Amino acid sequence: MSALTRTLAGLTLAAALLGAAGGALAAAHGSYAMTVYGEPPKYPPGFQHFDYVNPDAPKGGSLSRASMEIGQFNYITPYADQGIAVAQVNDWVYSPLAFRSLDEPYTVYGLVAERMERDPDGLWVRFYLDPRARFADGTPITAQDVRYTFDLLLSKGSLSYRQLYGDVRDVVIEGPGQVRFDFKNNLNRTLALDLATLRVLPEHWWRTRDFANGGGFEPPLGSGPYKVGKVDAGRSISFERDPNWWARDLPVSRGLYNFDRLTVNFYGDTDVARQLLQAGAFDYNREFSSSGYVVGYDSPALRDGRLQQAILAPDKPTAAQGFVF
């Protein structure tokens, strides 16, 4: 090897080492969590689980519930404005870049994104993807999938996404597992966290489907704790827990997603759903009417304890219902 060749080889190696060090330094600047104002999150680095879960909860069993919507669903994925979809797909079938904790005002902890980095001036946010992140078919989740999802939601998804992400100027892929969102301004304090809750869709699956019309009744390929099982078009849909879900042991997942099977039933009338619950046709109903909660379930089943009634989040701020004179 000539002196010139050795010199060039040394320079190449030095550049490679410098690039690797720069990448490691950038990752070191990221954080496992983000808050709105940069205040410390409730859970410290290395936390094992959220306080509101039982990390040793047994897995198994099934739960059936009524949908939160009235009427029949005419497609599955809840990302387009084409009628009634299955809202639970968003939480059960797809994993977000970061998971929003339920016991803080607005804090997110890394899930698909292993770490997150925000510009001190509030003009961009960067996500470092977990190399373990996978879709249910084993395909790695990449920065290209993140950008594809963003572009798809803004071009063919619900109007709400254009309103939510309207201050994003550009999406820059910085590497297979690294993506940056640039902002038009720094006026929206929650934009970085709103982007962190983005569910990542698989480009290789959706590019051959009709996303704008909801994708029909075909079970979508996801990346979350459940897969879509049986679909009774318009009437009910079941979800099967994926025992091989890549994120099952992450701190944000431990103690959650314990049922092996979840079923959502759709009914055309609220009173019918209440009567069916009292008769034992399904297990759980979320009530949105204060008067319905007070008088809609008065029955022998409630009085003898077969039906349980409770306000699960009594301290949560909620809009008032009633008349004011």
- Cα separation, 242 vs 224, in Å, equals 8
Please tell me the CATH code under which domain 34-268 is placed. Answer: 3.40.190.10
> For residue range 148-162, what is the model confidence (pLDDT) as tens digits?
999 999 999 999 999
Q: What is the mean pLDDT of residues 179-186?
A: 98
pLDDT given at position 218: 96
- Residue of 24 and 237 predicted with greater confidence: 237
Name the amino acid, one letter, at 211. Answer: F
- Work out the pLDDT band at 28, boundaries 50, 70, 90: low
Angle subtended at Cα 228 by Cα 223 and Cα 233, rounded to the nearest 5 degrees: 140
pLDDT of the residue at 246: 97
Sign of the CA dihedral with 33 first, then 122, 178, and 156 last = positive
Helices (H) and strands (E) in the chain, counts: 9, 11
Strand ordering across the sheet containing 98-100:
33-35, 107-110, 98-100
pTM comes to: 0.86
Q: Determine the average pLDDT of the residues in 127-131.
A: 98
Domain residue spans of the chain? 34-268, 270-311
Q: How confident is the model at residue 109 (pLDDT cuts 50, 70, 90)?
A: very high
pLDDT above 70 covers what percent of the chain?
91
Determine the average pLDDT of the residues in 226-241: 97
